[in-house]
Chain A
Amino acid sequence: MSQINRLSQGGRIDRSQPLSFSFNGQNYQGYAGDTLAAALLANGVDVVGRSFKYSRPRGIVAAGAEEPNAVLQIGSTEAAQIPNVRATQQALYAGLVASSVNGWPSVNTDLMGILGKVGGGMMPPGFYYKTFMYPQNLWLTYEKYIRKAAGLGRAPKENDPDSYDYMNQHCDVLVVGGGAAGLAAALAAGRSGARVILADEQEEFGGSLLSTRETLDGKPASDWAAKAIAELEKMTEVTLLPRATVNGYHDHNFLTIHQRLTDHLGEVAPMGQVRQRMHRVRAKRVVLATGAHERPLVYANNDVPGNMLADAVSTYVRRYGVAPGRQLVLSTTNDYAYRVVLDWLDAGQQVVAVADARSNPRGAWVEEARKRGVRILTGSAVVEARGSKRVNAARICAIDLKNHTVASPGEVLDCDLIVSSGGYSPVVHLASHLGGKPTWQEDILAFVPGEGLQKRLCAGAVNGIFALGASLADGFEAGATAAAEAGFKQVAGSLPKVEKRHEEPAVALFQVPHDKSTARAPKQFVDLQNDVTAAGIELATREGFESVEHVKRYTALGFGTDQGKLGNINGLAIAARSLGISIPEMGTTMFRPNYTPVTFGALAGRNCGPLFEAKRYTAMQAWHLQNGAEFEDVGQWKRPWYFPKAGEDLHAAVARECLAVRNAVGILDASTLGKIDIQGPDAREFLNRVYTNAWTKLDVGKARYGLMCKEDGMVFDDGVTACLADNHFLMTTTTGGAARVLEWLEIYHQTEWPELKVYFTSVTDHWATMTLSGPNSRKLLAEVTDIDLDKDAFPFMTWKEGKVGGVPARVFRISFTGELSYEVNIQADYALAVWEKIIAAGKKHGLTPYGTETMHVLRAEKGFIIVGQDTDGSVTPDDLGMGWCVGRSKPFSWIGWRGMNREDCLKENRKQLVGLKPVDPNKVLPEGAQLVFDPKQSIPMTMVGHVTSSYMSSALNYSLAMALVKGGLKRIGERVFAPLVDGSVIEAEIVSPVFYDPKGDRQNV
Chain B
Amino acid sequence: MKLTNTLLASTALTFAAGMASAEAHMADEMTIVSWGGAYSNSQQKAYSEPYAEKTGVNIINDESSAEAVAKLRAMNEAGNISWDVVDVTAADSFRLCDEGLAMEIDFDEQLKAGDDGSTPTDDFGDTLINDCFIPQIVFSTTFGYRTDLVGDTPPTSVCDIFDTEAYPGKRSLEKRPIGNMEWALLCDGVAKDEIYDVLETEEGQEQALAKLDTIKDSVVWWSAGADTPQLLADGEVVMGSTYNGRLFSVIEEQDQDVAMLWDGQMFDLDGWIIPAGLSDERKARALDYVKFATDTQRLADQAAYISYGPARASSAPLVGQHAELGIEMAPHMPTDPANATNVFVFNYEFWADYRDDIDAKFQAWLVQ
Q: Do A and B come from one complex?
A: no
B interface residue numbers (CB < 8 A to A) = none
